[in-house]
A and B are shown apart, each in its own frame.
Chain A
Amino acid sequence: MSEFYTSLDHFAILPALLMGLFGCAIFLFDFWLFPSAREKRYLVWFVIVTEAFVGVALYRQFAYLKSSGISSVSAFKGLLSIDGFSIFFNVMFLVAALLAALVSYRYLEEERENHGEYYGLLLMAQCGMFFLASATELVSLFIGVELMTITFYVLVGFLARDKRSNEAAIKYFILGSFSSAFLAYGFSLLYGLTGSTHLAGITAALASRPLDDPILLIAIITTTVGVLFKLAVAPFHMWAPDVYEGAPTPVTAYLAVGSKAAAIALLLRLFEGPLAGSRDMWEPMLAVVAVLTITVGNLGALSQDNIKRMLAYSAVAHAGYMLLGLVAGNETGIMGVVIYAFVYSFMNFGAFLVLIGLRQQDVRGESMEELHGLMRRNGPASVMMLVFLVSLAGIPPTAGFIAKYFIFLALIETGHYVLALIGVLYVAVAIYYYFRVVRAMFLDAPASGLNLIPSTGLRVAIVAAGIGTIGLGLFAEPFLRLAGMSILR
């Protein structure tokens, strides 16, 4: 290996390399290996094998960090970093991609859109997320953002014959590229101010600058706006309900979980890294945004009859809670954000999984009426849905409680009593709209002719998400230790 590509570099980038290679392999060989539409479902195995390899690569990185006792190693002369943070988030992305692949084949067959590229695109999006969690340099981060979002534009519009899917893709594309422009502008200002694209270099350069610089303020605001757009946070949340509703449901789940966690990773990398010194500037800004987000998300979800739209608004609200953790900013708060993102990926994905099962030839499986009496039609599925909704509402003993607990604990520790109070009050609002779904499932009379027959992949995915949601709530201790290792600093 040369000085440009050392074995450490290889070690650091291996997960992304695997995703990229296997993704390209799907694009290339899908035509020869699985020519008929019926056989495309075997590509799920391909994704599972890829994720197994990626998992091993990530585990080896983890073992390496643990055995050498250092908290972070940087590769490619500071472009990438292996640390607890990157590994923790990458596990999150791995879970999301795996669940999305498992439940997709049946859904795409129902939609008559089962093409092999879908699975390649899933891996490519994950590759972009990898760079968001691991890169420590502005250009790599930006390329990660673009790789992720451009693949998502395609995935959102994957149902080429469905008008809603097309509309969602166009909306997401226009707003997404608009926000990327903001992000690029912010990054370019940061580079112009500090003369470095490396996060460490920017941190050092900003430390010796006066903080009341208007250009620094503009740089922070534009960067934040760019990231918050991706995170679907009010006042930049308008795209979320439409896109979530129009996209194929597995993609919606992947988008809500994966891209949100990736945006959180980017946010933490920037705000706990180079921008940590200018906390006085952005803390009030983020506090206002967080409160606005929780308000808009929770109030918006109240009146939705389409469950995908309701979950979209609830996802907006959850992003607001994660922001509150960053506003608190102490160790508990940052750990709270990471825990929240992880727990959220299980419970939110789980709620979407049940909807995916409901989608059949002539049934959309999205509206409240179609869930009526699900208990009598498919008991296990509705019980699992109950678990996910209870967790989303933040009720113990599920994992959602642990997540919210740490956010509120951090807010109280740092004296943000008003923010904590607002957050807790909106949990009560959230319980109302989550339990509307529960009431529809358990108390209302069954809708006619609707039967939920889950595929094997869906069964596995629902059970996995359920184990994640309950397991993390009941046996939080080892998980919390891992989350603690992932804190930057």
Chain B
Amino acid sequence: MIYILLAGTFLIGLLFVAKLLRPSVPSKVKQEIYECGIPTMSNARGRYSVRFYIIAILFVVFDVETIFLFPWAVRYKQLGWFGVLEVAVFLAILFVGYIWAYKKKALRWS
């Protein structure tokens, strides 16, 4: 208990001492949020096209598809025809979604 209190006071005291001792020279570059060399253009809450969301969602769909396909590919021999059938069903369901997205012109950019 005393140890925790001591540690706490030491920590806060150290920060306080550091604040007293360090020089304070603020400059414009230093105060930028991302000090990585590229100048900031606007803040992060700008609006951008809703199409990006559709692309992102489609990406998730195909991402999940590969997540399921890889383990199946590794255990292809052991799973046999049962595995093939299961994956076929899974792909068929995804394919429905793909056709639907295509028909809804989700893949067209213009």
List A contacts of B103 (CB < 8 A). 31
B93 — nearest CB in chain A belongs to which residue?
A: A24
Instruction: For the complex, give the distance between the alpha carbons of A458 and B64 in Å.
Output: 41
Instruction: For the complex, give the distance between the alpha carbons of A310 and B23 in Å.
Output: 65
* Contact between chains at B82 and A27 (CB < 8 Å): no
In the complex, per-residue mask of B77-110: 1 if CB is within 8 Å of any chain A CB, else 0: 0000010000000000100110110010000000
B-facing residues in A16-36 (Cβ within 8 Å): 24, 27-28, 31
Give chain B's interface secondary structure class. helix
Instruction: For the complex, give the distance between the alpha carbons of A142 and B25 in Å.
Output: 57
In the complex, per-residue mask of A86-130: 1 if CB is within 8 Å of any chain B CB, else 0: 000000000000000000000000000000010000000000000
List A contacts of B82 (CB < 8 A). 2, 4
Instruction: For the complex, give the distance between the alpha carbons of A31 and B102 in Å.
Output: 11
Cβ of A7 to closest chain B Cβ, rounded Å: 16
B92 — nearest CB in chain A belongs to which residue?
A: A24
Instruction: For the complex, give the distance between the alpha carbons of A28 and B103 in Å.
Output: 9
Instruction: For the complex, give the distance between the alpha carbons of A51 and B93 in Å.
Output: 21
List A contacts of B93 (CB < 8 A). 24
Instruction: For the complex, give the distance between the alpha carbons of A260 and B100 in Å.
Output: 30
Cβ of B100 to closest chain A Cβ, rounded Å: 5
Instruction: For the complex, give the distance between the alpha carbons of A227 and B45 in Å.
Output: 35
Instruction: For the complex, give the distance between the alpha carbons of A2 and B81 in Å.
Output: 10
Cross-interface CB contact of B96 among A2, A4, A28, cutoff 8 Å: A28
Instruction: For the complex, give the distance between the alpha carbons of A24 and B91 in Å.
Output: 13
In the complex, per-residue mask of B56-87: 1 if CB is within 8 Å of any chain A CB, else 0: 00000000000000000000000000100000
A23 — nearest CB in chain B belongs to which residue?
A: B96
List B contacts of A31 (CB < 8 A). 103
Instruction: For the complex, give the distance between the alpha carbons of A280 and B71 in Å.
Output: 45
Residues of B within 8 A of A (CB-CB), count: 7
List B contacts of A24 (CB < 8 A). 93, 96
Instruction: For the complex, give the distance between the alpha carbons of A31 and B93 in Å.
Output: 17
List A contacts of B97 (CB < 8 A). 27
B96 — nearest CB in chain A belongs to which residue?
A: A24
Cβ of A1 to closest chain B Cβ, rounded Å: 11
A32 — nearest CB in chain B belongs to which residue?
A: B103
Instruction: For the complex, give the distance between the alpha carbons of A27 and B96 in Å.
Output: 7
List B contacts of A2 (CB < 8 A). 82
A27 — nearest CB in chain B belongs to which residue?
A: B100
Cβ of A414 to closest chain B Cβ, rounded Å: 47
List A contacts of B96 (CB < 8 A). 24, 27-28
Instruction: For the complex, give the distance between the alpha carbons of A27 and B101 in Å.
Output: 10
Cβ of B68 to closest chain A Cβ, rounded Å: 15
In the complex, per-residue mask of A177-189: 1 if CB is within 8 Å of any chain B CB, else 0: 0000000000000
Instruction: For the complex, give the distance between the alpha carbons of A229 and B92 in Å.
Output: 34
List B contacts of A117 (CB < 8 A). 100
Cβ of A35 to closest chain B Cβ, rounded Å: 10
List A contacts of B99 (CB < 8 A). 27-28
Cβ of A33 to closest chain B Cβ, rounded Å: 12
Instruction: For the complex, give the distance between the alpha carbons of A27 and B82 in Å.
Output: 27
Instruction: For the complex, give the distance between the alpha carbons of A451 and B9 in Å.
Output: 77
In the complex, per-residue mask of A306-337: 1 if CB is within 8 Å of any chain B CB, else 0: 00000000000000000000000000000000
B81 — nearest CB in chain A belongs to which residue?
A: A2
B80 — nearest CB in chain A belongs to which residue?
A: A2
In the complex, per-residue mask of A422-438: 1 if CB is within 8 Å of any chain B CB, else 0: 00000000000000000
List B contacts of A28 (CB < 8 A). 96, 99-100
List A contacts of B100 (CB < 8 A). 27-28, 117
Instruction: For the complex, give the distance between the alpha carbons of A418 and B56 in Å.
Output: 55
Cβ of A344 to closest chain B Cβ, rounded Å: 33
Instruction: For the complex, give the distance between the alpha carbons of A24 and B98 in Å.
Output: 12
Instruction: For the complex, give the distance between the alpha carbons of A339 and B99 in Å.
Output: 42
A31 — nearest CB in chain B belongs to which residue?
A: B103
Instruction: For the complex, give the distance between the alpha carbons of A31 and B82 in Å.
Output: 33
B99 — nearest CB in chain A belongs to which residue?
A: A28
Cβ of B5 to closest chain A Cβ, rounded Å: 30
Cβ of A18 to closest chain B Cβ, rounded Å: 15
List B contacts of A4 (CB < 8 A). 82
In the complex, per-residue mask of A282-315: 1 if CB is within 8 Å of any chain B CB, else 0: 0000000000000000000000000000000000
Cβ of B107 to closest chain A Cβ, rounded Å: 15
Instruction: For the complex, give the distance between the alpha carbons of A28 and B104 in Å.
Output: 11
Cβ of B82 to closest chain A Cβ, rounded Å: 5
Cβ of A39 to closest chain B Cβ, rounded Å: 16
Instruction: For the complex, give the distance between the alpha carbons of A24 and B97 in Å.
Output: 9
For this complex, 13 residue pairs linking A to B, each with C-beta atoms less than 8 Å apart, are A2-B82, A4-B82, A24-B93, A24-B96, A27-B96, A27-B97, A27-B99, A27-B100, A28-B96, A28-B99, A28-B100, A31-B103, A117-B100
- Taking A4-B82, A27-B96 as known contacts, 11 extra A-B pairs with beta carbons closer than 8 A to each other, sorted by chain A number, are A2-B82, A24-B93, A24-B96, A27-B97, A27-B99, A27-B100, A28-B96, A28-B99, A28-B100, A31-B103, A117-B100
Residues of B within 8 A of A (CB): 82, 93, 96-97, 99-100, 103
Minimum-distance CB pairs A-B, first 10: A24-B96, A31-B103, A27-B100, A4-B82, A27-B96, A28-B96, A28-B99, A2-B82, A24-B93, A28-B100
Residues of A within 8 A of B (CB): 2, 4, 24, 27-28, 31, 117
